[in-house]
């Protein structure tokens, strides 16, 4: 990696220093934060449907459990009997994430949340010993939010990110890695280029064919060549590794560009009836997400896939997309999704996964009709929580569970479809002509 660039132009300005903190095995650490006896044990957090491992504690990693391992295979192994496994609880992880961010934001001039477990920090011009400062921040997060982290820092975000991953891999560094010094960076330039943030599998392959193996090899390339072969994205990474900051800290939370609700069914679906029910539920959920953020969507895509893990069965993946009237009304979304899905569905296929994706989001014009659609006879906690959040936003009683409505014989406020609450999915499907 090269030295710092552009010296002297802004002699009066301090050299920028970016930090990156990252929660170790974040989801597992969240579970352990609420159940301290998990500390040090092999813990695994599973994806939706408990399909595969999406987080492993270090003890679980040591047992050889990999990211994305299908749980039905791993579970059967005798030597893994004592692994503690959890279904994912994203509401919990979101809460912990906000707490961690608050601790960080209170301790640096500027902080940018990057992902559920990562935060970029502005460490520019801080007085005193930076290493000691980062050590203290890390300690505070562990004490207050109960989450172990690593911190890396350097002159650009990409270098900070690299520092963070080095801090994670080298126990001797005690979770801290300072890459502000070009000479220190040079000692890590023998790492594979694929370790760099933004250089994924495809790019690594491409680079290898050109004889580029290590970070040092990559940095040595001619910038124009990088721009030609790897587009502006590659060019930015290349510059950042040479100490030229191209990715500024952004303090305004980016407005969301899209909303996706996609899911594997858990078992193959063959009938139109089952399929429409699943996709109607996704569209309903997508509408809830829109409304909870005060947004409307004016573009929708729907897709349908068979199982990609069955090489002997033919694989189909079909998608349809179209502009729609701006809406956040679940009813309208269900109707649109149905219209798009119908020509995609074919009898005889064993469908594995489907999804509804909303794009071109705009601020909501006015309040849409509320819809509470579920076949679930159980009032699950997540359902009640979703209902509460709608009511908190639009006023008490805007939505209620179906059972309450029936029980009390209420004739309730209307929606666009009929003169009473439409809460049963079957009715919605009939009414929207699926």
Partner DNA sequence: TCTGGGGTCCTAGGACCC
Provide the binding-site residues for DNA, judged by CB under 7 A: 47-49, 51-52, 54, 67-68, 70, 72, 114-118, 161, 196-204, 231-233, 254, 256-264, 266-268, 289, 299, 301, 307, 309-310, 319-323, 352-353, 355
Closest approach, Cβ 401 to DNA, in A, equals 23
In this structure, the number of other CB atoms found within 10 A of the CB of residue 28 comes to: 26
Nearer to DNA, 40 or 200 (CB): 200
Nearer to DNA, 266 or 397 (CB): 266
Nearer to DNA, 133 or 291 (CB): 291
Phi-psi region of 352 (alpha: psi -120 to 50; beta: other; left: phi over 0): alpha
Nearer to DNA, 91 or 232 (CB): 232
Closest approach, Cβ 248 to DNA, in A, equals 13
**Strand 84-87's sheet: what is its strand order?**
53-56, 43-46, 84-87
Closest approach, Cβ 214 to DNA, in A, equals 16
Closest approach, Cβ 55 to DNA, in A, equals 8
CA separation for the pair 331, 312 (Å, rounded)? 39
Nearer to DNA, 354 or 402 (CB): 354
Closest approach, Cβ 378 to DNA, in A, equals 20
Closest approach, Cβ 263 to DNA, in A, equals 4
Residue 27: how many CA atoms within 13 Å on its side-chain side? Answer: 20
Nearer to DNA, 48 or 412 (CB): 48
């Amino acid at each position: 990696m090269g030295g710092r660039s552009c010296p002297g132009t802004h002699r009066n300005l301090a050299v920028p220093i970016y930090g990156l903190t990252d929660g170790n095995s974040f989801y597992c650490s969240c579970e352990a934060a609420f159940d301290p006896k998990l500390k040090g044990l092999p813990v695994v957090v599973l994806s939706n449907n408990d399909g595969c491992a999406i987080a492993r504690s270090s003890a679980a990693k040591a047992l050889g459990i990999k990211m994305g391992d299908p749980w039905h295979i791993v579970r059967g192994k005798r030597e893994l009997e004592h692994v503690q496994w959890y279904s994912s609880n994203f509401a919990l992880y979101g809460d912990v994430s906000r707490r961690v961010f608050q601790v960080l934001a209170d301790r640096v001039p500027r902080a940018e949340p990057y992902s559920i477990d990562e935060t970029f920090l502005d460490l520019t011009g801080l007085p005193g010993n930076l290493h000691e400062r980062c050590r203290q921040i890390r300690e505070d997060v562990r004490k207050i939010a109960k989450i172990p982290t690593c911190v890396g820092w350097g002159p650009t975000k990409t270098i900070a990110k690299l520092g963070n991953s080095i801090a994670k891999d080298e126990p001797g560094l005690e979770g801290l890695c300072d890459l502000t010094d070009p000479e220190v960076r040079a000692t890590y330039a023998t790492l594979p280029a694929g370790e760099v943030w933004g250089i994924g599998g495809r790019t690594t392959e491409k680079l290898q064919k050109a004889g580029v193996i290590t970070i040092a090899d990559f940095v040595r390339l001619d910038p124009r060549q990088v721009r030609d072969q790897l587009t502006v994205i590659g060019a930015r990474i290349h510059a950042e590794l040479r100490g030229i900051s191209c990715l500024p800290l952004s303090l305004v939370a980016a407005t969301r560009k899209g909303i996706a609700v996609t899911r594997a069914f858990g078992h193959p679906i063959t009938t139109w009836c089952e399929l429409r029910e699943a996709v109607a539920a996704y569209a309903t959920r997508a509408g809830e997400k829109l409304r909870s953020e005060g947004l409307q969507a004016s573009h929708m895509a729907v897709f349908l896939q068979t199982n990609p893990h069955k090489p002997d069965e033919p694989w189909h993946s079909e998608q349809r997309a179209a502009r729609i009237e701006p809406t956040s009304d679940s009813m309208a979304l269900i109707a649109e999704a149905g219209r798009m899905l119908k020509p995609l569905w074919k009898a005889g296929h064993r469908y594995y996964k489907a999804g509804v994706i909303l794009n071109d989001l705009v601020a909501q014009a006015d309040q849409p009709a509320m819809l509470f659609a579920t076949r679930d006879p159980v009032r699950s906690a997540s359902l009640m929580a979703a209902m509460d959040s709608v009511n908190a936003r639009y006023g008490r009683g805007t939505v209620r569970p179906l059972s309450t409505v029936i029980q009390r014989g209420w004739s309730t406020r209307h929606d666009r479809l009929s003169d009473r609450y439409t809460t049963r999915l079957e009715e919605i499907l009939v009414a929207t002509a699926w």
